[in-house]
């Protein structure tokens, strides 16, 4: 059996996923990522407070490499396609993860309706983080790693990225997210190496 016939048969066995199902699947996937990052953030704090050499506001953070971002965007502008698919996947994964981390940070510092001491009770207990440690935890994640206004539209983009089917669609969604954080210059550095300077260069290229 040739590969084309085999692919056709496999396609017939898989029911077409509806737009609604794709949305709910993406939403569940994003919430799982948030749960994972919540655990990561609390674990990182727990490790940092045991390390006397660690700075009090030393939350680990990774960003999108500026050079790779610029190269992929320039290629798209020139050719109309994403040539570096692996690089695009890495950018998408990083931006979704950082949106999730931003969301958890924003809850921890008390800028949402969530009460972290109550809603994170089991997680805090697991990492032996007590009420007296909360102020230190909040200081640990400072340096503009939370957002009051940009979070909701960024989370919507994260859902859409998890639904996206083509690399070009992913690029346009990431570009939309970067436009949001560029306008909110205080969080640009949370997403991209070089922060607002990199995004200004990208916008003017």
> What average pLDDT score do residues 73-77 get?
96
Q: Provide the pLDDT for residue 2.
A: 42
User: Of 113, 107, 111, which is closest to residue 42 (Cα–Cα)?
Assistant: 107
What pLDDT, on a 0 to 100 scale, did the predictor assign at position 3?
36
Residue with the bigger pLDDT between 104 and 25: it is 104
Between 79 and 14, whose confidence is greater?
79
| pLDDT (0 to 100) of residue 7 | 38
* pTM (2 d.p.): 0.87
Give the Cα separation of 89 and 83 in Å (integer): 12
Predicted confidence at residue 185, as pLDDT, reads 77
Place of tokens 């089917």: 165
pLDDT at 13: 43
Contact of 184 with 150, CB cutoff 8 Å: yes
- Percentage of residues of the chain with pLDDT beyond 90: 68
Band of pLDDT at residue 110, cut at 50, 70 and 90: confident
State residue 188's pLDDT score. 92
Residues above pLDDT 70, as percent of the chain:
90
Look at residues 57, 107, 70, 33 and name the one whose alpha carbon lies nearest to residue 192. 70
Instruction: With beta carbons less than 8 A apart as the criterion, state whether 67 and 80 touch.
Output: no
């Amino acid at each position: 059996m040739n590969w084309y016939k085999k692919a056709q048969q496999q396609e017939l066995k898989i029911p077409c996923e509806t737009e609604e199902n794709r949305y709910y699947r993406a939403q569940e996937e994003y919430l799982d990522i948030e749960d994972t990052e919540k655990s990561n953030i609390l674990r990182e704090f727990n490790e940092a407070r045991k390390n006397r050499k660690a700075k009090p506001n030393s939350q680990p953070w990774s960003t999108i490499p500026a050079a790779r971002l610029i190269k992929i965007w320039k290629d798209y502008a020139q050719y109309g396609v994403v040539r570096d698919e692996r690089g695009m996947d890495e950018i998408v994964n990083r931006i979704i993860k950082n949106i999730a981390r931003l969301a958890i940070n924003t809850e921890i510092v008390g800028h949402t309706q969530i009460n972290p001491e109550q809603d994170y009770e089991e997680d805090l207990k697991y990492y032996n983080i007590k009420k007296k440690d909360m102020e230190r935890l909040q200081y640990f994640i400072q340096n503009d790693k939370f957002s009051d206004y940009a979070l909701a539209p960024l989370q919507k983009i994260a859902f859409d990225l998890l639904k996206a089917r083509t690399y070009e669609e992913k690029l346009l969604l990431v570009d939309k997210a970067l436009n949001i954080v560029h306008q909110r210059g205080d969080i640009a550095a949370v997403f991209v190496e070089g922060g607002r300077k990199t995004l200004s260069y990208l916008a003017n290229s």
